[in-house]
Each structure stands twice: as C-alpha cells, then as structure tokens.
C-alpha cells in the first residue's frame, strides 16, 4: 500500500486540482487556490479539503512542512505547486486564515453549515437559503481536527515567521491563530448543544425496535427492559453529571424507560445556551430533532477523541475556557462509547446484536453501513476490556462480513442493493430543518469503503493475537485495492476520489470533480496505515516461549565451549566464539519485543556453535 507515498500522491493531485487561474486571467497573473469540488464551496466541504493538506503533516512528523529547513525532498516535490520551501508554509498559513474568514457571518461569527451537502427530498421544491445556512454537527466535528491541525502548524511555523522578518507576517500568523481559537470554541459549544438523550417507552415504536434489536435471547420484553436498566446503571449515573448544554436526563430516571445517547444532526431544538463562555453570539437557535443519529454520533466521537491524543495533550494549546468545554465533552464521549458498546454486545451470550447484521435503528432503518458505524463506536471499548482479544476478534469477524456484504471482497450481484451504500449512499433525513419554510432535507453518507478500511486498521492495531490481526490486514489490503480502482483516472481531479462506476458496472454516473468528503476519509485511512506500519509488530506468546527455550540451549552450548577453552584458542576461533556470544546476548535483549527475530538469531547461534564444535573435533582427530 505504501501509505506515505499515497499521501504524497494525494497532495500532488490536490495541488494540481486546487491551484487554478481565476476566470479570464492570464498565466502571468498567477494561480490561486480554488475552494470546492464535487459540491459548491461550504464550511463542511472546504474543511475537508483543507484537512487533506493539514492532517498528514500533523500526524506524521516526517511529512511536516512548517519549517523550510526541515522539509523533506519528497514533501517539497509533492507541494511544489504551492511554491518553494519558504513559500509553501506561508501559502498554507494564508489558506488557514482565508478559510476562517470566509466561513463567518456578517458579524464575524463562525459558520458550520453543510450547504450543498444537504439534498432535497422533495425535488419539486427549492430549498430555502436559510436551510443551507444551518450549522450541522459534522461542521462542528470537522472544526476540531481542523483547528488542532492548524494550531500545530501555526505554532511550528512561528519561529520561521520570526526569522524571515517579512512585513506583516508575524501579525498575520497571530491573526490566523486567533481566528482558529474562535472557531474551535464555537465548535466545542456546538457539540455540547447537539448532544441528545432520547427516552422511549416499551409501547413506543422506537422502544419496541430497540427491544427487538437487543433481544437476541428471545426473552420477554419486561426482562429485557430490566436487564437493560441493570447494565445501564453506571451510564445513567454519568448522565446525571451532564449539566452544560443539551442532553437532559430527568426522563431516564424512570425504571421502565429505554433510551439512546449520542449526537443529533445539529443543535437540538430548545437547546439551552452554554453559559460558561464569555462570547455567546454564536449560539444560534436549535433546529434538530432531539434524538441521536448514528452517523453524526460517530463523527462527533472521533473528533472529540482527537483532543485527547498524546501529541495534542503535550502541546497544551487550549486556554482555560476551552479546557472547561473539553471536560464537558469528555463526559459525553465516555458515556456514549459505553452506551453503544453495551448495546452492541447486549446479552453477552453466543450472539451479539452487532453480529446480527445489518444493524437496525430505532427509526426503522437497517443498513450494513449502520453496523459499520456501531463498530466504529465500540472498537475502543472492546479493546480496553480485560480478558484478551476475544471481543475484538468477534468485532473483526463482523468487519470481514461487512467487507463481503458491501461487495468489496465479493463481486456485486445484478440489481444489488449493497451498491446503493457506495452511491448515492445511505440517506438520513435531517428532521426539523423543514420548519424553516422549505422542503425536507437529507444527508448522504457515501464513505462505506474508506470507513471500513479505517475500522480494519483500528481493530488490527488493538489486537495482540497474530492470526486475527493477519486476517484483518489481509482484508484491509483487499479494501485498499477496491479503493485504488475507484481513484479518478483523468481530468483535473486525476488521482483523487471518487469514481464508483469504475468498480460497479451497474452505475452509469461519471464525475469530473473530486469528493472531498470521500478523499479525506481515504487520507485518514492512509494515516492510520502509516502509523500502524511504524508500530511494533504483534508478539506471539508461543513463539516467545519457544525463542526463550532455544536461547537457553544456545547459551548453555556457548558456555560449554568457553569451558572447553575455545574462547582462549587461536585469534580466529576466539573471535568467532565471541561473535556468537554477542548474537546470543542481543537475542536475549529483544526476545520480549521481537520474539521472531530473537528465535532466528538463536537458530543462527546454534548453527554457528555446531559448526565450530565440528571443526574443533576434526582438528583434534586430524581427519
């Protein structure tokens, strides 16, 4: 796969596509950055476009370009369309500032709207412009990794800006940083106000569907409700501590209630203002149905999790106000992960609800895509459980099945419904937006394949069982081959994504422009693949024991040779004996981390000792 090279290729293709001449301009006037792709420019799509540039440099230090003196030649070659080693970081700094300024309202308040990513359900009615201006949860979520990556870049670029001494450069960098912090605070507040706790009775349609989903043992409904409440006691206790923003828990306290937690598609209707921030101008009225959406729950969880990565924590970017908001979000992150891992593995018997593919939501929808989303939420929780890899192996089996059912590792059938997940995608209605005097709107999720690749690498990175890890990596290779075939092959968007008709003959649509929504998912997958490749290999306990036993024998034979006086023999033989001793000592040093290598070194030491012993016997007998 060569993930680092793939990321460099994506950069080169992105620069070639995005750097264009203004309409009617001549080459002498220079090229400028073009915002937008398959969809028109909006806060969500432009954030994904900019993240394709920023995220690899943040997560993989060898791809950083903020310091001209430390930028590698492959990075300079990929980004040469932006300028020389000094101009590249200056250009990216201006891009960050341009994005932050462009996506604000007339009062300078950040906008997180989905714009053209929202699609009309009723095509006979035009959308109200106010509908496309509504802040969306994915806009809040994207702002977090975008702002963190921007802060990393701007901080690292600071010494270069000081050294260059260009007029206004230091001030422009500081202005960009201030704008980034404002957008970050607005996003944190938005996620607090779009959190939802929905409660159901057994008689409700949603309650009945939730019971059917988790009742894998065929028990009476009242027993399922009681067991659900018992397993959720700690979760309910944590919900009581949620006092900032939306997500009230009063209705959850009733002993007969079922519930769901997560994020709605936007700020929920009647969400209270977050009072711990000094500037409340960006807290717009809530429009969304007060109920969790699986897709927006996953994007929110993954965004919030980036705030707690070791690299971000060490940097200490956040001020006191932002820290308070992050702590409130951490509580929601923890309780949501626990809730969905509980539901995914409810019953604890021979079969989980997650294993009963496809997942069925409480609003009556069922798609393999939803099973994939639940895997995304539950993976970390399963990986942190005690008792070995058993839970992760079961989750991995689900991922393998989803690769098959998604027609990635198997050929599609005629009129196969699975193709719809790839295009036009799984559709989710944005309930509540129709109240803005316009048609009902929906959000299309088309990222099944790259999201599956992310989940495979994430699960594999947590596994210690070699066979299970190898199986997931084998499937990941097949998913990547599928994605590589969907890469656009011609035109200005060549080598970007996505052209699904190149894989699925049933599709007749062909695109000229890239989908930044799809491309950023591929970038995230490549980053995970690169980090995985740089990690320590999985260790086999059986091989480790075998290596240690083999080294015991090798060390014993070595000591015997020293006792016989081989170490004091002629210079040549003594040197060879000493080399064997060095090999054995090195093998003992690495046996815990790399048992396979230690085993190979032990075998080499034993073979060398056997050769020396045989040579000594031949010399003694004169044969």
Tell me the pLDDT tens digit for each residue of 578-595: 888 899 999 898 888 788
Percent of the chain with pLDDT over 70: 94
Tell whether 30 is covered by a domain. yes
Tell whether 586 is covered by a domain. yes
Tell whether 507 is covered by a domain. no
Q: Which two tokens stand for residue 178?
A: 């201030």
Q: What residues make up the domain containing 588? A: 542-621
pLDDT of residue 26: 53
The total number of structural domains in the chain stands at 2
Residue 348: partners with Cβ closer than 8 Å, 6 or more residues away:
none
pLDDT band at residue 30 using 50, 70 and 90 as cut-offs: low
Tell whether 519 is covered by a domain. no
Task: Please state, in angstroms and rounded to a whole number, the distance separating the CA atoms of residues 589 and 598.
Answer: 8
Greatest Cα pair distance, the chain, in angstroms, is: 104
Across the chain, mean pLDDT equals: 90
Q: Among 137, 166, 181, where does a domain finish?
A: 181
pLDDT of residue 345: 93
387 has pLDDT over 70? no
> Using an 8 Å Cβ cutoff, are 335 and 234 in contact?
no
Tell whether 31 is covered by a domain. yes
Tell me the pLDDT tens digit for each residue of 392-402: 999 999 999 99
pLDDT band at residue 570 using 50, 70 and 90 as cut-offs: low
Tell whether 14 is covered by a domain. yes
Task: Please state, in angstroms and rounded to a whole number, the distance separating the CA atoms of residues 438 and 43.
Answer: 21
Residue 294: partners with Cβ closer than 8 Å, 6 or more residues away:
262, 359, 361, 370, 373, 374
pLDDT of residue 28: 46
Q: Pick the closest to residue 176 from 119, 114, 99 (CA basis).
A: 99
Task: Please state, in angstroms and rounded to a whole number, the distance separating the CA atoms of residues 322 and 314.
Answer: 16
> Using an 8 Å Cβ cutoff, are 14 and 46 in contact?
no
SS3 422: helix
pLDDT of residue 379: 87
348 has pLDDT over 90? no
pTM: 0.88
Tell me the pLDDT tens digit for each residue of 511-555: 999 999 999 999 999 999 999 988 877 666 778 888 888 889 988
Q: Pick the closest to residue 516 from 121, 28, 41, 178 (CA basis).
A: 41
Tell me the pLDDT tens digit for each residue of 225-273: 999 999 999 999 998 888 888 776 667 887 889 999 999 999 999 999 9
pLDDT of residue 256: 86
Task: Please state, in angstroms and rounded to a whole number, the distance separating the CA atoms of residues 465 and 538.
Answer: 7
Tell whether 559 is covered by a domain. yes
Task: Please state, in angstroms and rounded to a whole number, the distance separating the CA atoms of residues 94 and 32.
Answer: 11
Q: Among 134, 157, 181, where does a domain finish?
A: 181
Q: Among 129, 146, 181, where does a domain finish?
A: 181
- Bridge partners (DSSP) of residue 263 are 195
Mean pLDDT computed over 150-174 = 94
Tell me the pLDDT tens digit for each residue of 173-193: 999 999 999 999 999 999 999
Burial grade of 496 (CB within 10 A; 0-12, 13-18, 19 or more): buried
Tell whether 602 is covered by a domain. yes
């Amino acid at each position: 796969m060569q993930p680092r090279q793939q990321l460099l290729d994506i950069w080169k293709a992105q620069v070639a596509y995005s750097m264009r001449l203004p309409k009617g301009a001549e080459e002498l006037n220079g090229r400028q950055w073009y915002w937008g792709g398959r969809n028109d420019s909006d806060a969500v799509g432009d954030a994904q476009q900019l993240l394709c540039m920023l995220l690899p440099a943040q997560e993989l230090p060898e791809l950083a370009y903020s310091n001209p003196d430390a930028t590698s030649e492959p990075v300079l070659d990929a980004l040469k369309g932006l300028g020389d080693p000094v101009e590249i970081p200056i250009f990216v700094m201006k891009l960050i500032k341009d994005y932050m300024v462009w996506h604000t309202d007339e009062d300078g308040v950040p906008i997180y709207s989905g714009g053209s990513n929202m699609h009309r359900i009723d095509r006979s009615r035009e959308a109200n412009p106010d509908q496309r201006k509504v802040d969306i949860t994915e806009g809040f979520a994207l702002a977090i990794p975008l702002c963190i990556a921007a802060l990393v870049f701007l901080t690292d670029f600071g010494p270069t800006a000081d050294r260059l001494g260009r007029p206004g450069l230091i001030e422009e960098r500081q202005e960009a940083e201030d704008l980034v912090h404002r957008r970050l605070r607005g996003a944190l507040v938005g996620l607090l106000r779009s959190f939802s706790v929905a409660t159901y009775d057994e008689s409700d349609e949603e309650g009945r569907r939730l019971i059917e989903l988790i009742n894998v043992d065929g028990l009476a409904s009242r027993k399922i409700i009681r067991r659900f409440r018992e397993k959720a006691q700690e979760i309910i206790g944590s919900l009581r501590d949620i006092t900032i923003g939306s997500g009230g828990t009063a209705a959850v306290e009733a002993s007969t209630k079922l519930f769901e937690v997560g994020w709605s598609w936007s700020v929920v209707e009647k969400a209270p203002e977050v009072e711990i921030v000094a500037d409340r101008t960006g807290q717009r009225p809530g429009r969304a149905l007060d109920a969790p959406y699986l897709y927006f729950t996953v994007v929110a969880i993954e965004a919030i999790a980036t705030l707690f990565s070791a690299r971000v924590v060490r940097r200490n970017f956040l001020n006191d106000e932002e820290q308070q908001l992050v702590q409130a979000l951490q509580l929601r992150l923890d309780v949501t992960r626990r809730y969905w891992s509980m539901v995914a593995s409810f019953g604890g018997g021979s079969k989980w609800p997650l294993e009963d593919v496809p997942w069925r939501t409480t609003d009556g929808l069922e798609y393999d895509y939803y099973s994939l989303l639940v895997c995304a939420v539950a993976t970390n929780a399963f990986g942190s459980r005690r008792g070995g890899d058993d839970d992760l192996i079961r989750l991995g089996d689900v991922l393998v099945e989803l690769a098959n059912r998604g027609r990635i590792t198997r050929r599609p059938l005629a009129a196969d419904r699975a193709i719809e997940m790839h295009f036009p995608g799984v559709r989710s209605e944005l309930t509540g937006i129709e109240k803005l005097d316009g048609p009902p709107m929906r959000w299309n999720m088309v990222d099944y394949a790259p999201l599956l690749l992310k989940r495979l690498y994430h699960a594999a990175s947590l596994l210690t069982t070699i066979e299970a890890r190898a199986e997931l990596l084998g499937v990941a290779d097949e998913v990547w081959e599928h994605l590589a075939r969907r890469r656009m092959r011609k035109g200005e968007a060549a080598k970007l994504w996505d052209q699904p008709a190149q894989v699925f003959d049933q599709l007749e649509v062909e695109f000229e422009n890239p989908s930044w929504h799809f491309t950023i998912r591929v970038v995230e997958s490549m980053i995970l693949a690169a980090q995985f490749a740089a990690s320590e290999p999985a260790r086999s306990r059986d091989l480790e024991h075998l290596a240690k036993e083999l080294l015991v024998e090798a060390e014993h034979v070595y000591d015997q040779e020293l006792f016989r006086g081989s170490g004091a023999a002629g210079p040549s033989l003594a040197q060879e004996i000493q080399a064997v001793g060095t090999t054995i000592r090195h093998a003992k040093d690495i046996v815990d981390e790399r048992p396979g290598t230690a085993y190979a070194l032990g075998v080499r030491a034993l073979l060398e000792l056997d050769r020396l012993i045989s040579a000594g016997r031949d010399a003694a007998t004169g044969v």
